Chain A
Amino acid sequence: MWEKVFLKRLRRELPLWVEKGWVAPENHNLILDDIAARTSGTRYTPVAFAVLGVLLFGVGIISFFAANWALIPKLVKLALLFGSMWAAFAGAGWLLVGQRQINRGMTPALQLLGVILYGANIMLIAQIYHIQSHFPNGVLLWTLGALAVTYLVPSQIVAVAGLALGALWARLDIFGDLPTPIAFAETVYWPFFIVLALFVPPIIRHSWRIAAWLAVLAFAAWCAISLVSLGIESDTDAVHILQVGLLFSLAVFLLSAVLERLDRWELFADPLNRLAAIFSMLSFFGLTISDVHGRGFVVNAPNAAPLEWVIGTLLAALLVAAMFAWRNYITRPSAREPYIIWSRVLLVATILLMLVNLFASAIISATLWIYLAFNILYLGAVVWLIYTGYRTGDRFRVNGGFLFFAIGLVSLYFDNFWALLDRSFFFMGAGVLLIGGGFLLEQQRRRLMSSMVAPTDPQPGEGST
């Protein structure tokens, strides 16, 4: 998909480059033909069809077994379970040995079928022998099987399946069975982090981009759940959790700029950058809400942070500083661009404000200024996001910036006018704000997007984050 986007953009840009004399006119079509030959929709199509076919076939086999399960003797059941799994892997092996033409999509698809049947076998053997165990352990065993296959016979689709199974296992282990009330684990769930980390080496080795995205998504979810779990466990106020969340997200955001320059880790840079940007802005937005500072419905100022959260916040701030230094050392960003200077000012101001808040949160008179300062810095972060997005041609940042601006505006309205205006005026005002503000924002966003002709990639040695 990304190649198609690249080709589309190239088609748009090449005439301009020819006009400016950067590309010889006779090379225009040669470049497009070459890229088109290398980037075709056929790369993923056979794999996608093969995987869909395999899934349907797998469902069919399992349904057949299920329909006739009671009638089948135990030994035949075992032969069917083992035989079907071996058959799937034998098919993959047959294609591998002959290097047959159809193996491009079918080999990984058959490996996936083998892994699916392995999981079905775990569950069905547990059923045949009435094995009563902690249910998520079965899913963990399945995940580890997928991991083993990923290492021994590398295949992105199996790695993706393994990561999804790992997430399912963690989900079941942390939250329990679906009908039971949701309850977070009491502490950080390290086992999932270990399993996730085990998937990283093959992802890097084989440059699997889809698996990299999934791994980063799982990592982000794990970080968020861990942070909330720690907060619940220590009975900490939301403001302290949000501050650590923001600092950690900023550290990851800076780390992504470093990874961009590291050969094998580069494929993690984009997903980490985007998710860290989203989590940073969400945490920042949380810090702009008046209740968090004890100035809305919640009128009590937040309690002073427990010692472990003071230490955690300071460590997170040090981590941001370390990442900032590492990023500067690796990328040597140019100071000519104003947004680079703004980013430094914003970063330092945000950290300083958080440190002040950390030690002054119990002083009621200070909470108004801290609340206002967070709102001003949030606005600064939104403008910075839109501006850097515009300068670097990153539509994701521009769209994200406008979205967070709108969210911030609505939240500010609810925060400050709910108690001041009569309810009817309040809702009328909210309606006008949403209709008018939304129209104006969308107009500005479209204008900005249309003026973004092409991305301005950072110069060599110059970072954009």
Chain B
Amino acid sequence: MSTVIEPSKAQLPDGMQCVFERPRAMSEKPMHYCPGCSHGTYHRLVGEMIDEFDLLSKTVGVCPVGCAVFAYEYFEFDMVEASHGRAPAVATGVKRCLPDRFVFTYQGDGDLASIGMAETIHAAARGENITVFFVNNGIFGMTGGQMAPTSLVGQKTTTSQKGRDAAWTGQPIKVCELLSSLDGVGYLARVPLTSPKNIKTCRKYMRNAVRCQLEGRGFALVEALSPCPVQWGMTPGAALDYIDDKVVKVFPPGEFVNKLDDAGK
């Protein structure tokens, strides 16, 4: 492992300044994620949000069960490790008691859209004033690549080895479309984490989702379409192409709900 040098503490030659460093909200712990996985990117964006809105001292994050189960290792704010799918209920418990804290969940598609769908829908329906950072990579990553509710029709997984059969297992669940009918939702957006441009868009959406909570406008969720090259059996590059070519056709990106005052501006 290479030595970690804090850029801001490093000796910089005269005339040079540090333009990119680890967010203060993130720890130095090396991440366990697989090559080509975008959890690291998404974590960083979460850290940037906490820094940007100066929320380190008042944030309580809720971790999922799944690949991001160790997320609490990577951040410097308080966190609660929820059981599988229950993060929105745990976040509800925190937020209702401490309404001035910034409370978010970080959840994958198995966690949020399979076992935890009831908690997701009801937190949204109640207009629970929390922010959900949702990673949709269409597969159960940590358990070894089983079919998820968001797996595409025809997608090969370890429990759909000939490809997902819609007649037997149904169609993928579109979380943003599903939640957009609920009045308690203040912000909903989906973005593929496939390019610097899209990551900038994701940052913009996440900023809106944070603001949604800070302004008390209800449930906010950003869905990041993410690659899982290891469980998809692809190279990292091919996995990104797969999202841009195939996944976005089923899961169209964009803002679904935006109740911020400057929406559309």
Q: Do A and B bind each other?
A: no
B residues with CB within 8 A of A: none
